Amino acid sequence: MHKIVLFYKYLDIQDPENEMKEQRKICQSLNLKGRLIIASEGLNGTFEGEPENISKYCQYLRAKKGYEDIHLKFSEGTGKSFPKLSIKVRKEIVSAHLGSKDLNPTQITGKYITAQQLHEWIHSDKEFYIVDMRNDYEHSVGHFAGSILPAFSNFRDLDKILPQIEHLKDKTVVTVCTGGVRCEKASGFLVNNDFRDVYQLFGGIVTYMEQFPNQDFKGKLYVFDQRVTMGFNTEDPKHEMIGKCKKCGSLSEGFVNCTFNECHKHFICCNNCRDGENIAYCDDECRELDLRKIESMNFALSLNNTYIDLYNALTKS
Protein backbone atom coordinates (compact mmCIF):
# COMPACT_ATOMS: atom_id res chain seq x y z
CA MET A 1 0.00 0.00 0.00
CA HIS A 2 1.30 3.44 -0.95
CA LYS A 3 0.12 7.02 -0.60
CA ILE A 4 0.78 10.13 -2.68
CA VAL A 5 0.90 13.66 -1.29
CA LEU A 6 0.59 16.76 -3.49
CA PHE A 7 1.43 20.21 -2.18
CA TYR A 8 2.76 23.69 -2.90
CA LYS A 9 3.50 26.84 -0.98
CA TYR A 10 4.35 30.35 -2.11
CA LEU A 11 6.69 31.91 0.43
CA ASP A 12 10.08 33.60 0.54
CA ILE A 13 12.88 31.01 0.55
CA GLN A 14 16.15 32.78 1.26
CA ASP A 15 18.44 29.87 0.43
CA PRO A 16 16.85 27.46 -2.11
CA GLU A 17 20.05 25.40 -2.39
CA ASN A 18 20.10 24.72 1.34
CA GLU A 19 16.36 23.92 1.28
CA MET A 20 17.05 21.42 -1.51
CA LYS A 21 19.74 19.66 0.54
CA GLU A 22 17.52 19.49 3.62
CA GLN A 23 14.54 18.18 1.66
CA ARG A 24 16.63 15.57 -0.12
CA LYS A 25 18.02 14.29 3.18
CA ILE A 26 14.60 13.80 4.80
CA CYS A 27 13.08 12.27 1.65
CA GLN A 28 15.92 9.79 1.26
CA SER A 29 15.63 8.78 4.92
CA LEU A 30 11.93 8.04 4.37
CA ASN A 31 12.47 6.28 1.04
CA LEU A 32 10.17 8.67 -0.82
CA LYS A 33 10.04 9.00 -4.59
CA GLY A 34 8.64 11.87 -6.60
CA ARG A 35 9.66 15.39 -7.47
CA LEU A 36 10.03 18.73 -5.75
CA ILE A 37 10.73 22.09 -7.36
CA ILE A 38 12.20 24.77 -5.11
CA ALA A 39 12.61 28.44 -5.98
CA SER A 40 13.05 31.67 -4.10
CA GLU A 41 9.26 32.13 -4.51
CA GLY A 42 8.31 28.81 -2.85
CA LEU A 43 8.08 25.08 -3.48
CA ASN A 44 5.88 22.65 -5.40
CA GLY A 45 6.01 18.89 -4.96
CA THR A 46 4.51 15.44 -5.22
CA PHE A 47 5.84 12.44 -3.30
CA GLU A 48 4.89 8.79 -3.05
CA GLY A 49 5.78 6.41 -0.25
CA GLU A 50 4.45 4.07 2.38
CA PRO A 51 1.62 5.75 4.35
CA GLU A 52 3.64 5.91 7.58
CA ASN A 53 6.57 7.61 5.83
CA ILE A 54 4.32 10.07 3.98
CA SER A 55 2.79 10.94 7.37
CA LYS A 56 6.25 11.53 8.85
CA TYR A 57 7.20 13.77 5.94
CA CYS A 58 4.02 15.83 6.33
CA GLN A 59 4.75 16.26 10.05
CA TYR A 60 8.26 17.44 9.18
CA LEU A 61 6.95 19.87 6.59
CA ARG A 62 4.30 21.43 8.82
CA ALA A 63 6.83 21.81 11.64
CA LYS A 64 8.95 24.13 9.48
CA LYS A 65 8.51 27.85 10.01
CA GLY A 66 6.19 29.31 7.39
CA TYR A 67 4.79 25.92 6.36
CA GLU A 68 2.35 25.45 9.23
CA ASP A 69 -0.75 26.05 7.10
CA ILE A 70 0.40 24.27 3.94
CA HIS A 71 -2.48 22.47 2.23
CA LEU A 72 -1.77 18.79 1.59
CA LYS A 73 -3.74 16.69 -0.89
CA PHE A 74 -3.64 12.88 -0.71
CA SER A 75 -4.46 10.05 -3.09
CA GLU A 76 -3.73 6.35 -3.42
CA GLY A 77 -0.44 5.37 -5.00
CA THR A 78 0.75 2.30 -6.85
CA GLY A 79 4.32 2.20 -5.56
CA LYS A 80 5.43 2.83 -9.15
CA SER A 81 4.07 6.32 -9.78
CA PHE A 82 7.57 7.82 -9.82
CA PRO A 83 10.79 6.14 -10.99
CA LYS A 84 13.05 8.07 -8.62
CA LEU A 85 13.44 11.03 -6.28
CA SER A 86 14.07 14.37 -8.00
CA ILE A 87 14.58 17.60 -6.05
CA LYS A 88 15.70 20.62 -8.06
CA VAL A 89 16.12 24.38 -7.75
CA ARG A 90 14.44 26.44 -10.47
CA LYS A 91 13.58 30.09 -11.11
CA GLU A 92 9.84 29.37 -10.73
CA ILE A 93 7.88 26.58 -9.08
CA VAL A 94 5.58 26.55 -12.14
CA SER A 95 6.97 27.84 -15.43
CA ALA A 96 4.76 30.77 -16.43
CA HIS A 97 7.55 32.81 -18.04
CA LEU A 98 5.60 36.05 -17.61
CA GLY A 99 8.74 38.17 -17.57
CA SER A 100 7.96 41.76 -16.67
CA LYS A 101 4.32 40.73 -16.07
CA ASP A 102 5.27 38.22 -13.37
CA LEU A 103 3.58 38.57 -9.99
CA ASN A 104 3.88 37.43 -6.40
CA PRO A 105 0.84 35.36 -5.33
CA THR A 106 1.43 36.29 -1.70
CA GLN A 107 0.64 39.88 -2.72
CA ILE A 108 -1.92 39.49 -5.49
CA THR A 109 -4.05 36.50 -6.43
CA GLY A 110 -7.71 35.57 -6.85
CA LYS A 111 -10.02 35.07 -3.90
CA TYR A 112 -10.21 31.50 -2.63
CA ILE A 113 -13.37 29.46 -3.09
CA THR A 114 -13.61 26.05 -1.39
CA ALA A 115 -14.81 22.88 -3.05
CA GLN A 116 -17.96 23.03 -0.91
CA GLN A 117 -18.69 26.62 -1.96
CA LEU A 118 -18.09 25.86 -5.63
CA HIS A 119 -20.39 22.87 -5.40
CA GLU A 120 -23.11 25.12 -3.99
CA TRP A 121 -22.55 27.67 -6.75
CA ILE A 122 -22.75 25.00 -9.46
CA HIS A 123 -26.06 23.76 -8.09
CA SER A 124 -27.58 27.23 -7.79
CA ASP A 125 -28.76 29.91 -10.19
CA LYS A 126 -25.64 32.05 -9.66
CA GLU A 127 -24.00 33.36 -12.85
CA PHE A 128 -20.30 32.54 -12.93
CA TYR A 129 -17.79 30.98 -15.29
CA ILE A 130 -15.23 28.26 -14.60
CA VAL A 131 -12.04 28.83 -16.58
CA ASP A 132 -9.74 25.79 -16.78
CA MET A 133 -6.08 26.86 -16.58
CA ARG A 134 -4.63 23.48 -17.60
CA ASN A 135 -3.16 22.31 -20.90
CA ASP A 136 -5.44 21.18 -23.71
CA TYR A 137 -4.43 17.50 -23.40
CA GLU A 138 -5.41 17.65 -19.72
CA HIS A 139 -8.83 19.08 -20.65
CA SER A 140 -9.34 16.25 -23.13
CA VAL A 141 -9.64 13.49 -20.53
CA GLY A 142 -11.55 15.39 -17.85
CA HIS A 143 -13.05 18.81 -17.04
CA PHE A 144 -15.92 20.52 -15.27
CA ALA A 145 -19.16 20.36 -17.22
CA GLY A 146 -19.80 23.67 -18.97
CA SER A 147 -16.38 25.10 -18.15
CA ILE A 148 -14.38 27.31 -20.49
CA LEU A 149 -11.36 25.48 -21.92
CA PRO A 150 -8.88 27.98 -23.39
CA ALA A 151 -6.46 26.71 -26.02
CA PHE A 152 -3.47 26.06 -23.77
CA SER A 153 -0.63 23.99 -25.15
CA ASN A 154 1.53 25.02 -22.19
CA PHE A 155 1.06 27.17 -19.09
CA ARG A 156 3.50 29.61 -20.70
CA ASP A 157 0.59 30.47 -23.04
CA LEU A 158 -1.14 32.29 -20.18
CA ASP A 159 -0.57 35.69 -21.73
CA LYS A 160 -1.86 34.48 -25.11
CA ILE A 161 -5.27 33.26 -23.90
CA LEU A 162 -6.48 36.67 -22.71
CA PRO A 163 -8.29 37.45 -26.01
CA GLN A 164 -10.25 34.19 -25.59
CA ILE A 165 -11.72 35.19 -22.23
CA GLU A 166 -11.66 39.01 -22.17
CA HIS A 167 -15.45 39.01 -22.58
CA LEU A 168 -15.57 37.79 -18.96
CA LYS A 169 -13.85 40.83 -17.43
CA ASP A 170 -17.06 42.03 -15.79
CA LYS A 171 -18.27 38.54 -14.84
CA THR A 172 -17.52 36.28 -11.88
CA VAL A 173 -14.70 33.92 -12.87
CA VAL A 174 -13.42 30.82 -11.06
CA THR A 175 -10.05 29.49 -12.21
CA VAL A 176 -9.30 25.78 -11.73
CA CYS A 177 -6.23 23.58 -12.15
CA THR A 178 -4.98 20.23 -10.83
CA GLY A 179 -3.80 21.08 -7.32
CA GLY A 180 -4.15 24.85 -7.22
CA VAL A 181 -0.58 26.03 -7.82
CA ARG A 182 -1.11 27.26 -11.39
CA CYS A 183 -4.23 29.17 -10.35
CA GLU A 184 -2.25 31.21 -7.82
CA LYS A 185 -0.55 33.05 -10.67
CA ALA A 186 -3.28 32.59 -13.27
CA SER A 187 -5.96 34.20 -11.10
CA GLY A 188 -3.60 37.01 -10.09
CA PHE A 189 -2.75 37.53 -13.74
CA LEU A 190 -6.45 38.01 -14.52
CA VAL A 191 -6.77 40.50 -11.65
CA ASN A 192 -3.80 42.43 -13.04
CA ASN A 193 -5.54 42.50 -16.41
CA ASP A 194 -8.71 44.16 -15.09
CA PHE A 195 -10.89 41.13 -14.43
CA ARG A 196 -13.15 42.42 -11.67
CA ASP A 197 -14.34 39.33 -9.75
CA VAL A 198 -11.80 36.49 -9.80
CA TYR A 199 -11.77 33.37 -7.63
CA GLN A 200 -9.54 30.30 -7.58
CA LEU A 201 -10.53 26.81 -6.43
CA PHE A 202 -8.70 26.18 -3.17
CA GLY A 203 -6.85 22.87 -3.28
CA GLY A 204 -7.52 22.45 -6.98
CA ILE A 205 -9.61 19.95 -8.91
CA VAL A 206 -8.23 16.99 -6.97
CA THR A 207 -9.79 18.37 -3.77
CA TYR A 208 -13.16 18.83 -5.49
CA MET A 209 -13.07 15.31 -6.91
CA GLU A 210 -12.22 13.85 -3.52
CA GLN A 211 -15.18 15.56 -1.85
CA PHE A 212 -17.64 15.17 -4.73
CA PRO A 213 -16.54 12.15 -6.79
CA ASN A 214 -18.22 11.78 -10.17
CA GLN A 215 -20.15 15.01 -9.71
CA ASP A 216 -19.72 18.07 -11.95
CA PHE A 217 -16.14 17.17 -12.93
CA LYS A 218 -16.51 14.70 -15.79
CA GLY A 219 -13.93 12.07 -16.69
CA LYS A 220 -10.56 11.64 -15.00
CA LEU A 221 -7.93 14.05 -13.75
CA TYR A 222 -4.64 14.17 -15.66
CA VAL A 223 -1.65 13.86 -13.33
CA PHE A 224 2.04 14.24 -14.07
CA ASP A 225 3.31 10.85 -12.96
CA GLN A 226 3.21 7.31 -14.26
CA ARG A 227 -0.46 6.91 -13.32
CA VAL A 228 -1.18 9.51 -16.06
CA THR A 229 -4.82 9.83 -14.97
CA MET A 230 -6.65 9.36 -11.69
CA GLY A 231 -10.18 9.41 -10.34
CA PHE A 232 -12.20 8.64 -7.24
CA ASN A 233 -14.77 5.81 -7.19
CA THR A 234 -14.38 5.31 -10.93
CA GLU A 235 -16.22 1.96 -10.73
CA ASP A 236 -19.36 3.86 -9.74
CA PRO A 237 -21.98 3.92 -12.56
CA LYS A 238 -22.04 7.72 -12.16
CA HIS A 239 -18.47 7.95 -13.45
CA GLU A 240 -18.61 9.35 -16.96
CA MET A 241 -15.79 8.81 -19.44
CA ILE A 242 -15.37 11.81 -21.76
CA GLY A 243 -11.94 11.22 -23.30
CA LYS A 244 -12.01 10.31 -26.99
CA CYS A 245 -9.46 8.56 -29.17
CA LYS A 246 -7.93 11.10 -31.56
CA LYS A 247 -7.88 8.49 -34.32
CA CYS A 248 -11.34 6.91 -34.28
CA GLY A 249 -13.33 8.99 -31.79
CA SER A 250 -14.21 6.10 -29.48
CA LEU A 251 -14.27 6.66 -25.72
CA SER A 252 -10.83 6.16 -24.19
CA GLU A 253 -8.60 7.48 -21.40
CA GLY A 254 -5.28 6.01 -22.59
CA PHE A 255 -2.52 8.43 -23.54
CA VAL A 256 0.42 7.86 -25.88
CA ASN A 257 3.11 10.06 -27.41
CA CYS A 258 3.33 10.31 -31.18
CA THR A 259 5.89 7.72 -32.31
CA PHE A 260 7.50 10.27 -34.64
CA ASN A 261 10.13 11.69 -32.26
CA GLU A 262 10.24 15.08 -33.95
CA CYS A 263 6.56 15.50 -33.06
CA HIS A 264 6.09 13.45 -29.85
CA LYS A 265 2.61 14.97 -29.33
CA HIS A 266 0.75 13.65 -26.28
CA PHE A 267 -2.76 12.47 -27.13
CA ILE A 268 -5.50 9.97 -26.31
CA CYS A 269 -5.41 6.81 -28.40
CA CYS A 270 -7.42 3.63 -27.85
CA ASN A 271 -5.79 0.20 -28.00
CA ASN A 272 -7.42 -0.62 -31.34
CA CYS A 273 -5.71 2.34 -33.01
CA ARG A 274 -2.20 1.49 -31.81
CA ASP A 275 0.13 -0.39 -34.13
CA GLY A 276 1.79 -1.92 -31.09
CA GLU A 277 1.69 -1.55 -27.33
CA ASN A 278 2.59 2.16 -27.48
CA ILE A 279 3.11 2.78 -31.19
CA ALA A 280 0.77 5.39 -32.63
CA TYR A 281 0.99 8.46 -34.82
CA CYS A 282 -1.06 11.59 -34.18
CA ASP A 283 -1.78 11.95 -37.92
CA ASP A 284 -0.92 10.48 -41.32
CA GLU A 285 1.73 13.13 -41.96
CA CYS A 286 3.74 12.03 -38.93
CA ARG A 287 3.40 8.38 -39.96
CA GLU A 288 4.66 9.18 -43.48
CA LEU A 289 7.57 11.28 -42.23
CA ASP A 290 8.60 8.60 -39.75
CA LEU A 291 8.43 5.83 -42.38
CA ARG A 292 10.57 7.92 -44.73
CA LYS A 293 13.07 8.46 -41.93
CA ILE A 294 13.18 4.71 -41.21
CA GLU A 295 13.60 3.90 -44.92
CA SER A 296 16.41 6.42 -45.20
CA MET A 297 18.16 4.97 -42.15
CA ASN A 298 17.76 1.41 -43.51
CA PHE A 299 19.12 2.48 -46.88
CA ALA A 300 22.12 4.15 -45.24
CA LEU A 301 22.74 1.04 -43.14
CA SER A 302 22.46 -1.22 -46.19
CA LEU A 303 24.85 1.01 -48.14
CA ASN A 304 27.30 0.98 -45.25
CA ASN A 305 27.16 -2.82 -45.08
CA THR A 306 27.81 -3.00 -48.82
CA TYR A 307 30.94 -0.87 -48.45
CA ILE A 308 32.12 -3.07 -45.57
CA ASP A 309 31.59 -6.24 -47.65
CA LEU A 310 33.43 -4.67 -50.60
CA TYR A 311 36.31 -3.58 -48.38
CA ASN A 312 36.59 -7.04 -46.83
CA ALA A 313 36.59 -8.65 -50.30
CA LEU A 314 39.34 -6.32 -51.58
CA THR A 315 41.57 -6.79 -48.55
CA LYS A 316 41.35 -10.59 -48.84
CA SER A 317 42.24 -10.68 -52.56
Answer yes or no: are the C-beta atoms of 269 and 277 closer than 8 Å: no
- Is residue 136 situated within a structural domain? yes
pLDDT tens digits in sequence order for the chain, 317 residues long? 899 999 999 999 999 999 999 999 999 999 999 999 999 999 999 999 999 999 999 999 999 999 999 999 999 999 999 999 999 999 999 988 888 889 999 999 999 999 999 999 999 999 999 999 999 999 999 999 999 999 888 898 898 999 999 999 999 999 999 999 999 999 999 999 999 999 999 999 999 999 999 999 999 999 999 999 999 888 899 999 999 999 999 999 999 999 999 999 999 999 999 987 678 999 989 988 888 876 666 655 655 665 565 556 556 65
Catalytic residue among 27, 58, 177, 273: 177
Predicted local confidence at residue 187, as pLDDT: 98
Using a cut of 0.85, tell me whether the model's pTM lies above it.
yes
- Is residue 237 situated within a structural domain? no
CATH number of residue 158's parent domain: 3.40.250.10
Predicted local confidence at residue 256, as pLDDT: 94
From 94, 66, 73, 118, select the one nearest 181 (Cα to Cα): 94
Predicted local confidence at residue 275, as pLDDT: 82
Q: Indicate if 220 and 110 belong to the same structural domain.
A: yes
Q: Indicate if 212 and 136 belong to the same structural domain.
A: yes
Q: Indicate if 197 and 140 belong to the same structural domain.
A: yes
CATH number of residue 38's parent domain: 3.30.70.100
Torsion (CA) 118, 123, 128, 132 in degrees, nearest 10: 60
Which helix H or strand E contains 314, and what residues bound it?
Answer: helix 284-316
Q: Indicate if 103 and 190 belong to the same structural domain.
A: yes
- Is residue 78 situated within a structural domain? yes
From 178, 190, 158, 277, select the one nearest 228 (Cα to Cα): 178
Predicted local confidence at residue 152, as pLDDT: 87
Predicted local confidence at residue 10, as pLDDT: 97
From 211, 186, 184, 206, select the one nearest 112 (Cα to Cα): 184
Tell me the Ramachandran region of residue 102: left when phi exceeds 0, alpha when psi lies from -120 to 50, beta otherwise: beta
Q: Indicate if 77 and 107 belong to the same structural domain.
A: no
The domain of 184 spans 99-230
Q: Is 263 a catalytic residue?
A: no
Cα 78 to the center of its chain, rounded Å: 18
DSSP 148: B
Radius of gyration of the chain (CA): 23
Q: Positive or negative, the Cα torsion across 189, 192, 196, 199? A: positive
